[in-house]
Amino acid sequence: MATAPFDIDAYLARRLNFETVFTPRDVMLYQLGLGFGRDPMDEAELPFVYEKSLVVMPSYATILAFGQRLITTKDDLNLVKLLHGEQALELHRPIPVNGTVAGEVRITDIIDKGADKGCIIVQEIGLSLKETGEKLATLRGSGFYRGDGGRGGTSGPATVPNAIPDRPADTVLAIETRPDQALLYRLNGDYNPLHADPDFARAAGFKQPILHGLCSYGIACRAVVQAFVPGEPERVGAFDVRFSSPVYPGETIVTELWRDGDTVSYRCKVKERDVLVLNNGRAMLR
């Protein structure tokens, strides 16, 4: 177990610059991985999987930034106990169907929860369109390092979660996942064997490979679009959530949604186990 204090200034000074090229094929593959197009005769879903009139889900920004991390195996951190805690996304403009993005990664906070609890490291990624320099998106994700508390941190507090309204949901949508959905979604670039290899998953404490957390995140975004801005995903300007529990491929994700003006609050459970998997969700509509 790591015990040396963090060099806070060194962590906050880290930067990583990268570029990502994407095409309509990449966009369609991502949206197939969210379950769009299961019924090829559903004309409402066709624009998400067919280049003729292709539209882009705002959650695709997570793929444009995927794998760009400032924390690596070289750091004195227990990555085995790492959990994806939160994911936040702000869109500064709609995502085009193709192009090149330039990105920069930085660490914004290290929140020490105590030696017996762990720490939270918050990473921010800014994306811009390389061709024009126009800001595209800002992503913020937190990693909860359960084995690395008591080592110091920044003075900033943890984010305050979005409160779910104390009333029945305005809309409830159930979206089934496919038993092979993780095998399809991983082709977007997340090849962690936890999502494909039964032996690896069992060694990690799961009965079978689990669905990617960012796939569940994208399915929740799909529910918001379907409920409030059908066919117009570009109207989602922000999308935030806390991860609570994994989903097994083949389970049904039930999203409860509350709308207050341009703010949508949401949470997700899996129908088969009645387990909360995403919580304190917030989407902002344009």
The 10s digit of each residue's pLDDT in 86-127 is: 999 999 999 999 999 999 999 999 999 888 888 999 999 999
What pLDDT is stored for residue 72 in this prediction? 84
For residues 40 and 107, membership in a common domain is answered with: yes
Does residue 190 carry a catalytic annotation? yes
The verdict on residue 151 lying in a domain is no
What pLDDT is stored for residue 3 in this prediction? 67
Does residue 125 carry a catalytic annotation? no
Look up the domain containing 133 and give its range. Answer: 8-145
The verdict on residue 110 lying in a domain is yes
Pseudo-torsion of CA 18, 20, 21, 25, nearest 10°? Answer: 170
For residues 40 and 129, membership in a common domain is answered with: yes
CATH number at residue 33: 3.10.129.10
The verdict on residue 163 lying in a domain is no
What pLDDT is stored for residue 108 in this prediction? 94
Does residue 210 carry a catalytic annotation? yes
Domains held by the chain: number: 2
Catalytic residue among 190, 218, 219, 281: 190
At residue 2 the predicted structure's pLDDT band, cuts being 50, 70 and 90, is low
Q: Centre a 10 Å sphere on the Cβ of residue 169 and count the other Cβ atoms it contains.
A: 17
The 10s digit of each residue's pLDDT in 154-202 is: 876 667 899 999 999 999 999 999 999 999 999 999 999 999 999 999 9
What pLDDT is stored for residue 157 in this prediction? 67
For residues 54 and 141, membership in a common domain is answered with: yes
- 116 CB burial (10 A radius; 0-12, 13-18, 19+): exposed
For residues 31 and 135, membership in a common domain is answered with: yes
Of the candidates 110, 128, 145, which is a domain's last residue?
145
The 10s digit of each residue's pLDDT in 130-142 is: 999 999 999 999 9
For residues 135 and 194, membership in a common domain is answered with: no
Catalytic residue among 35, 195, 212, 253: 195
Catalytic residue among 213, 218, 219, 281: 213
The verdict on residue 161 lying in a domain is no
Rounded to 5°, angle at Cα 66 from 75 and 124 = 65
What pLDDT is stored for residue 84 in this prediction? 86
Does residue 213 carry a catalytic annotation? yes
Catalytic residue among 110, 121, 210, 253: 210
The verdict on residue 3 lying in a domain is no
What pLDDT is stored for residue 41 in this prediction? 95
The verdict on residue 51 lying in a domain is yes
What pLDDT is stored for residue 68 in this prediction? 87
